[in-house]
Structures are given as structure tokens and as C-alpha cells.
Structure 1
């Protein structure tokens, strides 16, 4: 092996090692971004008041429970999720528990046609729902309506500590 080949080999190996060391920090930066956006969503919701469900309402043709923060109705109300995205980027959603499903009632996640994905449900077989059912947060990669996102999901509890919905934030990968 010539000296040039040896130097090239060492440089190439060093590049792979450096890339491997940098990639996890990119992942950590994304995780930090998701956690920051989640804290923003939860703090803005907290300022509106305690979460509760009361009555039912139509969301994209589906009859679902109405979720409130204080006296502010979230169903078909995009102010909170849009405010979070204006400050933190990405996407945000409020889900309401409807039977065994969690339905998007306020979101800026878009369907392929560009419309808001309200009325769609959280993947009942996905990783996020498994954590929520155990009353745990989920942070990680998921597909949303066929597109890859780095995400955070946290349960929304009412005054009796029952899960009534889910906070979501995420960034398309």
C-alpha cells in the first residue's frame, strides 16, 4: 500500500468516525426542539385553564367529545396550535379521546390535499398510542399520514386524572 493510499484510508476512516459522532448530536438537537415545543404547547394550554371534556361536537363529519382548556373550546379551534407553530415551527395537535380512538380536533398537520387533518385518528397500532395507554409520554420517530416525523405525545388529564386527550408536537424529517 502506498503512503497516499494509507493517508486516504486514514482520512476516510476519520471522516466516518466524525460523522458518527455528529449524527447523534443532530438527533439530540431535534429531541430538544420537540421537548421545547411540547412545553410551549402545554404552558399555553395551562394559561387557558384546566382541561375537561363536555358535550359532543362535529369535527370533519365525526361526532366527538368537546375538549376545553378552561372555557376555551378546542374542537375546530386552531388558535392554540397555530400560535405554538408560529413560535416553535413544526406541527401541533390537540387530540380528544373518543371511545378507544384519539381524534385530531385542533391541528396544523396537513393531509395530502393541503387541508388540516382534523377528524383523523392517531394510529391505533402505533408506538405513541401504546405509551399513552400506559399513561406515559412518547417521544420518537413515527409516520403521520404516511410521512416521517420526530414527535412528542403527552396525555391530557382532566381534574380526576383521567386521560381525555393528547398533546402532540412534531417536525417532519
Structure 2
């Protein structure tokens, strides 16, 4: 190899390393997408009014507390989650706290049969629930109904700052 070839090889390697340093990887891009979708879900619900629990309503055959944003009930109401997905793709869910469980009351996450996964619960042994129990958001990869997703979960708090539900957004990995 002559000196010119060596110099060209070094230059090509330097360019490749430089490109790798300045281009975000797929994981970072997905994380940014998740955070943007989460902001969209939160801002959409905040426009409706403050969150609260009032009464109960069955979802997917399971009794659940009824979660509202302002006067808009979320149980079995898919308008908000579907609107978020129209704008940001992926999936979105509103969970309500019921005892120690968090129940999907508004979602476009699908079960294997293609139906909405309403009435199903957040994995009580999963990574996300650990953060939620501490009152913190969780961002990362989790398994949802047997499929890997890049996700975000954030507590929904009522006017007394009690956690009454969870915002969720995610993208199939």
C-alpha cells in the first residue's frame, strides 16, 4: 500500500467515525418520538380539564373507576388515544388505577384477535410499574401482550397530587 492509499483509508475511517458520532442512532430517534407522543397525549388531555375519578364504568367486561379529564370520561372513549396516534403513529393508552392494578380504559393497543385491549392490566411485575409506584415516569423497552415496544409511561395525578392513572405511548420495536 502506498502513502496515498493509507491516507485515503485513514480519511475514510475518520469520516465514518465522525458520521457515527453526529447521526442519532435508531434508539435515540425512537426515544425522541416517544417523548413527543407523550407530550401530545398530555397536552390533548390537559385541554379537556383536570383529571379526576368519578364513579365506575365497565371496560372490557371488567369494573373500573371512571377517569375523567374535565367533563370528558375516558373509559371506553377512544377519541383522544386515536387522535394522538393519527398525529404521532404508534400506540396510546389511558390507564386508571384500581386498587394495586392499572386497567386500560382507553387504548388502541390491540390483542391478538385485533380487538382493543381495554380491560387488560399493566403487567404488575413489569419494568414500568416499578417507576409508576414511585410516582416517576418510565421510558424504555417493555413487553406488551407478548410484543416488544419502545415506550413511555407517566403518572396521571389528580388535584391532590394522588396518582390515579397512567399515560402511555409506545412504538412496536
Give TM-score, length-normalised by structure 2: 0.88
Secondary structure of the 2:118 match is coil
Paired with 2:53 and 2:29, the residues of 1 have a C-alpha distance of 35
- Give the gaps of 5 or more residues in structure 2: none
- Which residue in 2 is equivalent to 1:29? 29
5 Å-filtered alignment, 1:1-173, equals 25-173=25-173
Residues 71/92 of structure 1: CA separation in 2 closer, same or farther (3 Å cut) = same
Residues 122/20 of structure 1: CA separation in 2 closer, same or farther (3 Å cut) = farther
Paired with 2:29 and 2:161, the residues of 1 have a C-alpha distance of 32
More displaced, 132-141 or 20-29?
A: 20-29
Paired with 2:17 and 2:145, the residues of 1 have a C-alpha distance of 35
Paired with 2:166 and 2:29, the residues of 1 have a C-alpha distance of 23
Aligned residues: 166
Paired with 2:63 and 2:149, the residues of 1 have a C-alpha distance of 28
Paired with 2:113 and 2:21, the residues of 1 have a C-alpha distance of 39
- Please report how far the alpha carbon of residue 27 of structure 1 lies from its aligned counterpart in structure 2 after TM superposition: 1.0
Residues 70/171 of structure 1: CA separation in 2 closer, same or farther (3 Å cut) = same
Residues 18/145 of structure 1: CA separation in 2 closer, same or farther (3 Å cut) = farther
- Give the gaps of 5 or more residues in structure 1: none
Paired with 1:27 and 1:21, the residues of 2 have a C-alpha distance of 14
Runs ≥4 residues deviating over 4 A: 16-24
- Please report how far the alpha carbon of residue 121 of structure 1 lies from its aligned counterpart in structure 2 after TM superposition: 0.4
Give TM-score, length-normalised by structure 1: 0.88
Residues 115/19 of structure 1: CA separation in 2 closer, same or farther (3 Å cut) = farther
Paired with 1:125 and 1:21, the residues of 2 have a C-alpha distance of 36
CA offsets, 1:35-90, max 9 Å, x none?
Answer: 00000000000000000001011101111100000000000000000000000000
